[in-house]
Amino acid sequence: IEIRDYKVKPGIVSTIGQLSEITLVNRSNITYTNIQLEVTFYNRGATKQLGSNKFVINEILPKRTRRTFNNVDIGFLNTVPEELKIRIVDAIDIN
């Protein structure tokens, strides 16, 4: 699974952060669900890590598809991240 693109909703400090959208690409012959991701927050220039949250997309990502998920909660944020990085942690194979 590859993260193709994502957009962060503005105004995400001291509240539940959200991605307005995240696009995932599945190039494999496996259909996945419960895709676990981790978002890491950084200061400007990504020189200092400010924290991280794990979140799950509880939807199906069929084999050999590209899918955009909307309004994805990424957990509570008590800091103002200047930059963030997202990575795939795990997913369940439902073939």
Task: Give residue-wise pLDDT tens across range 1-27.
Answer: 999 999 988 766 667 888 999 999 999
* Residue among 16, 84, 28 at smallest CA distance from 51: 84
What is the domain class of 2-93 according to CATH? mainly beta
Per-residue pLDDT of 29-55, as tens digits, reads 999 999 999 999 888 887 888 889 999
Number of helices and strands in the chain (H, E) = 0, 6
* pTM metric for this prediction: 0.88
Q: Please tell me what DSSP assigns to residue 61.
A: B
The domain locations on the chain are: 2-93
| CB distance 92 to 43 below 8 Å | no
Q: How far apart are CA 72 and CA 42, in angstroms?
A: 20
